[in-house]
Amino acid sequence: MAMDVEILEDPKHHRYVLNMGPQHPSTHGVLRVLLELEGEYAMELLPVLGYGHRCHEKIAEHKPVKSFMPNTARMDYLGALIYNHGYAQLLERAAGIEVPERVEYIRVITSELNRIQSHLLWYGAYLLDLGAFTPIMYAFDDREHILDILEDVTGSRLTYCYFRVGGVSKDIDDKFVTSTRAFVKRLRSRFPMYEDLVNGNVILQNRLNDVGELTPHTCARYGITGPLLRGTGVAYDMRRAEPYSIYSQFDFEIPTGTKGDCMASFMVRFHELEQSLRIIEQALDGLPEGPIMTPKVPKKLKIPAGDYNSSVEAPRGELSYYLVSDGSDVPYRLKVRTPSYSNLSVVPEMCQGMLLSDVVSAMGALDLVIPEIDR
Amino acid sequence: MKSYFSTLFTGAWSLILGLKVTIKALFSPIVTCQYPREKMEVTPNYRGHIDLVKFADTGAHKCISCGSCMRDCPSDCIVVEGEKREGVKGKVLTIFTLDFTKCSLCGACVEVCPTKALDYCNDYELAGFTREEFYFDLLKRVEERE
Ligand code: SF4
Ligand code: SF4
């Protein structure tokens, strides 16, 4: 792990600085964390960002609003459809475009599939960080089914660009509906297996319980959202707090934890899988017929002057887009609020004084997607 | 003391439960595909890079060199040029190139085309050592295609 070890000047403390990343497997991308260690305890932590910065927000200021859609998928490659959703919704709100009902259903179904896919990848990769190699194989087995389903309708496997302003690019067919239903059934039947294989495991319990505890107050100070916040017992989910699209029509619960430690957010994510399945089932049952595109979307979409906001629940927390328009078809400014950025900012406080191996547990529980932090 | 043993027991039991799952998986059918010896079927809806479509009725592409795709592409990866020729109505396509290194497969070009001349291809085995390997001459590709 050691890439660059530097003995600090004060020999009394025997503190030394260690780079974790930017190529460390448990940072899942190019995140670098400077650790100041005393023995095996991390006394100070400093995340260093910028390795994956691609100026997405600046790019948005230079092209027509509609052209930014593919960029949204590149920010959070695991929640691409949800990022598409937030952006499409932003432009629809700004330009006052009504979306056909079928489109809303398709968006919800595919977004929830995307969320499950993201959680399954996190599930496998997190356990891999903790030293358990097998679970990722099981998680990927299930995840592969979602990728196949989504590939058939969106054409891509990861960085989807499927939603359009006022609709979606391709209609779903009977094959999609049957394979999604089959998947829902399959994943449900696999939950007991996951419980046996992982969740009850004594090693996991000992590595996650009481590690990286957060309180609602800390979350509020850092702007932490998503499963981490829900793990502390606050049932805050954008799908409920500010229901967008057609989420208000569905019956689902918001899983919460109590202790706010790694185990709590772990279980919150695990239970969210089931809730997403419930939403998908209800949406498939109620799927109406109809067009998949609003007919009246102009080719050159001019956004009336003003500022607009749209927030959605991404797999990692609250995602918002904030658009300031001067009346042209190019945004004056587009600000993206991504959840992982705020979630990461708690690391120096949360991990202070932790054992190095617990730092890996705690950071893995944040479910960081680095390109979303460095966008 | 009692709790020590009960923890020990539940801990050991949780490991046995986990092992049961893996042993069961050992005897269940293989789910992986041994690429490249085996290949999976790709859905026809897969978005590979774009290609000009060869229409069966005319045996040619239908691009009218209007340049809409070029203008709509968010990453400027398409170059289209056409020229007027005597005795031919409209413009004749002379250059159609795609710089796939920059393409994000957004689909804007395919959707904007007035004659539906573009579609995604199904190639997914794309790997190369140089950038130039991904500059595709789509006009040449469509002419060479069966
Ligand atoms: S798919 Fe998008 S990025 Fe690629 S060539 Fe077409 S318009 Fe350009
Ligand atoms: S939009 Fe269609 S017809 Fe126009 S230049 Fe592109 S491929 Fe040709």
Which tens digit of pLDDT belongs to each residue from B105-144?
Answer: 888 898 888 888 888 888 888 888 999 888 988 888 887 7
Coil/strand/helix, residue A162: coil
DSSP string, A253-298: -----SS-SHHHHHHHHHHHHHHHHHHHHHHHHH-----SB-TT--
Which residue's alpha carbon is at the smallest distance from atom 6 of ligand 1?
A: B109
Which residue's alpha carbon is at the smallest distance from atom 1 of ligand 1?
A: B105
Q: Is B38 a member of any domain? A: no
Give the residue carrying structure tokens 């774009």: B50
Asked whether B139 and B93 are in contact (CB, 8 A), the reply is yes
Give the number of the ligand closest to the Cα of residue B113.
2
Q: B102 and B71, same structural domain?
A: yes
Domain with B22, as residue range(s), is 1-31
Q: Decide: B65 in ligand 2 pocket, CB within 6 A.
A: yes
CA distance A323 to A87: 10
Cα-based distances in Å from B98 to A133, A223, B48, B140: 42, 43, 12, 11
A201 to B18: CB separation less than 8 angstroms, yes or no = yes
Q: Is B123 a member of any domain? A: yes
Coil/strand/helix, residue A29: coil
Q: Report how far ligand 2's centroid is from the alpha carbon of B140 (Å).
A: 16
Quote the pLDDT of residue A364: 84
Q: B93 and B134, same structural domain?
A: yes
- What domains are defined for chain A? 56-338 (1.10.645.10)
Quote the pLDDT of residue A4: 45
Q: Is B45 a member of any domain? A: no
Q: Is B3 a member of any domain? A: yes
Q: Decide: B73 in ligand 1 pocket, CB within 6 A.
A: yes
Q: B131 and B101, same structural domain?
A: yes
B22 to A152: CB separation less than 8 angstroms, yes or no = no
Q: Decide: B79 in ligand 2 pocket, CB within 6 A.
A: no
Q: Does B130 touch chain A (CB under 8 A)?
A: no
CA-nearest residue to A199 within chain B is B14
DSSP string, A106-117: HHHHHHHHHHHH
For ligand 2, mutation pick of B49, B51, B64 (most atoms within 8 Å of CB): B64
Q: Decide: B105 in ligand 1 pocket, CB within 6 A.
A: yes
Q: B117 and B56, same structural domain?
A: yes
CA distance A313 to A86: 9
Q: Decide: B48 in ligand 2 pocket, CB within 6 A.
A: no
Q: Does A169 touch chain B (CB under 8 A)?
A: yes
Q: Is B106 a member of any domain? A: yes
Q: B67 and B130, same structural domain?
A: yes
Asked whether A34 and A19 are in contact (CB, 8 A), the reply is yes
Alpha-carbon radius of gyration of chain B: 27
Instruction: Count Cβ atoms within 10 A of the Cβ of residue A278 and give its class: 0-12 exposed, 13-18 middle, 19 or more buried.
Output: middle
Phi, psi (5° rounding) for residue A235?
A: -85, 70
Q: B57 and B25, same structural domain?
A: no
Phi/psi region, residue A117 (left: phi>0; alpha: psi -120 to 50; beta: rest), is: alpha
Crossing angle for the helix pair A101-129 and A262-286, to the nearest 10 degrees: 150
Quote the pLDDT of residue A10: 54
Which residues fall within 8 angstroms of residue B45, CB to CB, at 6 or more apart? Answer: A151, A152, A153, A155, A170
Quote the pLDDT of residue A12: 55
Q: Does A159 touch chain B (CB under 8 A)?
A: yes
Which residues fall within 8 angstroms of residue A23, CB to CB, at 6 or more apart? Answer: A3, A30
CA distance A248 to A252: 10
A197 to B21: CB separation less than 8 angstroms, yes or no = yes
Give the pair of three-digit tokens for residue A328.
């042209």
Which tens digit of pLDDT belongs to each residue from B13-30?
Answer: 888 888 888 888 888 888
Which has the closest alpha carbon to A222: A313, A311, A341, A337? A341
CA distance A371 to chain B (A): 16
Query: Residue B73 sits in a domain of what CATH number?
Result: 3.30.70.3270
Quote the pLDDT of residue A13: 60
Q: Is B91 a member of any domain? A: yes
Q: B65 and B4, same structural domain?
A: no
For this complex, say whether ipTM is above 0.85. Answer: no
Total domains, chain B: 2
- Residues constituting chain A: 375
Quote the pLDDT of residue A43: 85
Q: How many CA atoms lie within 13 A of A43 on its CB side?
A: 9
- If you ran DSSP here, which 8-state letter would residue A195 be given? I
Give the residue carrying structure tokens 């196949």: A148
CA distance B129 to A294: 43
Q: B69 and B135, same structural domain?
A: yes
CA distance B87 to B38: 51
> 10-residue block means of pLDDT along chain A (375 residues)?
47 74 72 84 86 87 88 88 91 88 91 92 88 86 90 88 88 90 91 83 83 88 90 88 87 88 89 91 88 83 88 90 89 90 88 85 85 85
Q: Is B74 a member of any domain? A: yes
Q: B25 and B55, same structural domain?
A: no
Q: Does B114 touch chain A (CB under 8 A)?
A: no
CA distance B85 to chain A (A): 31
Q: Is B2 a member of any domain? A: yes
Asked whether A338 and A75 are in contact (CB, 8 A), the reply is yes
B21 to A200: CB separation less than 8 angstroms, yes or no = no
Q: Decide: B138 in ligand 2 pocket, CB within 6 A.
A: no
